[in-house]
Amino acid sequence: MSESISLDKCVHGKLYRIHSRNLGFGVFNSEAQGFIGIREKFGNRYLFTEYHWDAGAPFGTVHPKEELEQLPEDIGVKEDLGIEDQEGRPCAFDKPRDQGGKGWYVIETGKPCEGFPVCVSNKKLFDWLEQKSNEYYEKHGTEE
């Protein structure tokens, strides 16, 4: 296996070819000390973060092998874009209502969310990663 790029050399928002449990490519998130890539499990494909080996056990599983390119500025380096209610309004959770909290509520109004809130996936990052992964697989394969 070729040498890994150390954690202190990884650049936020850069795409890397990586060796890890579940990912072949990932965008580095310096705040999380990990790489966001596309994982497939039970037929579902979704954004997933695995952590740099230097971040330590038991979660550090990624050995970055090659720095590739910078993520476009208009795409956030995060798996999701927050929580929204069925009307698309950003929501947050206070504490359960039976414990004196608001439960799920609309951030702007403070009123209860309509329906059950859902996590909004970062589709722009997913699409960009999928495109770039395909391009690099075609050019170089997965061999180190």
Query: Among residues of the chain, what percentage have pLDDT more than 90?
Result: 73
pTM score: 0.82
Alpha helices in the chain (DSSP H): 123-140
Q: CA-CA distance, 98 to 29, in Å (whole number)? A: 37
**Range list of β-strands (E), the chain:** 14-19, 25-29, 34-41, 44-52, 60-70, 80-84, 91-93, 104-106, 118-121
Residue 75 and residue 27 in contact, taking contact as beta carbons nearer than 8 Å: no
Render pLDDT for 29-53 as a digit per residue (tens, 0 to 9): 999 999 999 999 998 999 999 999 9
Render pLDDT for 46-75 as a digit per residue (tens, 0 to 9): 999 999 999 887 788 999 999 999 999 999
Residue 63 and residue 9 in contact, taking contact as beta carbons nearer than 8 Å: no
Residue 1 has pLDDT above 70, yes or no: no
